Amino acid sequence: MTDAEVLQVLQDVGAFRAGHFVGTSGLHMGTYINKDAIYPHVKEVSQLCEEMAKRFEKDDIEAVVGPAVGAVILSSWTAYHLSRLRDKEIYGVYADKDGEKGFLMRRGYDKLIRGKRVLVVEDITVTGGSIKKVIDAARIAGAQVEGAIVICNRGDVTAAQIGAPPRFESLVTVGLSQWPAEKCELCARDIPVNTDVGHGAQYIKAAMKNNAK
């Protein structure tokens, strides 16, 4: 799949949107990718994961690891397509949140991937922090991380930023124009903040509270 084809899939399922949004960091942005909008569409999820699998078909991957919650689906579908392409069983497992902003391998998955060549998958990366924690968790469990892949790289994240796996790929790269609230170009043009996705609703509520003081 080309970048344009992947972006079209994201648009078709309503995951890629343009407008005025507020991210978890509080920064304002003109485009937003709602990863949660991807997962209900099984055909499209399978299509994206098949492309992920094809990118690593020749890397002798033995297990696919994703972070809970959403990427559990990605790890399963990618492992399914790798199993089909290589005509052998490839495990699909996931890392749990550890309650302290990190991830670790539980449920016996640490033993399952120990000594195995693994691929780490994720939906969206902006800073690389989440996928790096999963790579770290897989390595601590004794796995050999052969690569990492995301559906969309939004922050020009590099392999070095996520723990330097031998290969790091994305199905599509989308430039991220963002600004602090006080310097937001969209606010200056009086473009309303979207309150349906992201943290726009919280931003509006906080702004109204400050204005009332």
CA distance 10 to 5: 9
Range of the structural domain that residue 88 is part of: 3-211
Q: Which of 128, 97, 94 is nearest to 112 (CA)?
A: 94
pLDDT of amino acid 210? 79
CA distance 135 to 113: 12
- CA-CA distances (angstroms) from residue 73 to 105, 153, 210? 16, 18, 41
CATH number at residue 143: 3.40.50.2020
Per-residue pLDDT reduced to its tens digit, 61-99: 999 999 998 899 999 999 999 999 999 999 999 999 988
Per-residue pLDDT reduced to its tens digit, 113-144: 999 999 999 999 988 999 999 999 999 999 99
Per-residue pLDDT reduced to its tens digit, 8-54: 999 999 998 889 999 877 889 898 888 899 999 999 999 999 999 99
Q: Which helix (H) or strand (E) holds 42?
A: helix 42-55
Q: Which helix (H) or strand (E) holds 31?
A: strand 28-33
Secondary structure class of 202 (helix, strand, coil): helix
Per the structure block, which two tokens stand in for 194?
């979207």
Number of structural domains found in the chain: 1
- CA-CA distances (angstroms) from residue 125 to 61, 80, 132, 170? 22, 23, 10, 9
Q: Which of 56, 128, 121 is nearest to 92 (CA)?
A: 121
Q: Under 8 Å CB-to-CB from 57, ≥6 apart: which residues? A: 82, 85, 86
- What global pTM score does this model have? 0.87
CA distance 53 to 60: 11
pLDDT of amino acid 213? 60
